[in-house]
Amino acid sequence: MINKVVGDVSKALRGVEDNMTLMLGGFGLSGIPENSISELVKIGVKGLTCISNNAGVDDFGLGLLLQNHQIKKMISSYVGENDEFERQMLSGELDVELIPQGTLAERCRAAQAGFPAIYTPAGYGTEVAEGKETRDFDGKMHVLEYAFKADFAFVKAWKGDEAGNLIFKGTARNFNPNMCGAARITVAEVEELVPAGELDPNQIHIPGIFVQRIFQGAQYEKRIEQRTVRTRN
């Protein structure tokens, strides 16, 4: 059995360099690769293009990379919770490509499956489609969108084994599965790392073939982006 375990996060990020394109899983602050993001901050790589549903918040997640001006371009769907993101975008410091959420997911999945591009009806007739090839399918217009090309994909799972098989928990099963195998190297950090063969094959969401490196993460903060509670009567 192939063992894909690396000793720690620093070894997991070996080969990450300036000006690379990175995929980072998560939705809001749910299921984000916290350890990998912290290590990216630590090693100080610059000029990054980050593909992620959102950009974290000001002091957590990808917001930490934005604070350090390590990101030159964000490819995202939702960016409404980060004041520093807004400031950099409006000032021209940060290049931003906003993509419909389903299109973002499918462009990841296309890269994972080895498809060069997809056709989608989302965005036709809007600024999203400007300059892009369009085509009629059964009377409905579609836009050609190319699969992403990324150097690294960083994902976070609940459980994983030494062979790289992954199980996601709850809402963390968002963009993480689609990003596995969608980059040249996929790095998975997990809350619990077990020996190969211990996971129930019927419960595995992503097979190890899509993962090149895996490590057990340190303590996770698991912040709640917007806490909403009911006042007790």
What would the pLDDT profile of 51-99 be if each residue is shown by its tens digit? 999 998 888 999 999 999 999 999 999 887 788 999 999 999 999 999 9
Of 108, 94, 92, 91, which Cα lies nearest the Cα of 65? 94
* Identity of the residue numbered 14: R
The CA distance from 66 to 219, in Å, is 23
Tell me what percent of the residues of the chain surpass a pLDDT of 70: 100
Tell me how many helices (H) and strands (E) the chain has: 6, 11
> Does pLDDT of 41 surpass 90?
yes
Q: Is the pTM of this model over 0.85?
A: yes
Band the pLDDT of 227: cuts 50, 70, 90: confident
What would the pLDDT profile of 193-225 be if each residue is shown by its tens digit? 999 999 999 999 999 999 999 999 988 887 777
Question: What CATH number does domain 9-113+149-216 carry, 3.40.30.10, 3.40.1080.10, 3.40.50.720, 3.90.550.10?
Answer: 3.40.1080.10
Per-residue pLDDT at 143: 97
Per-residue pLDDT at 231: 82
The CA distance from 42 to 47, in Å, is 15
Structure tokens at 81: 């919770």
Mean pLDDT of 167-185: 96
Mean pLDDT of 95-122: 96
Mean pLDDT of 39-45: 97
- Calculated CA dihedral for residues 33, 36, 41, 45, nearest 10 degrees: -120
Per-residue pLDDT at 81: 77
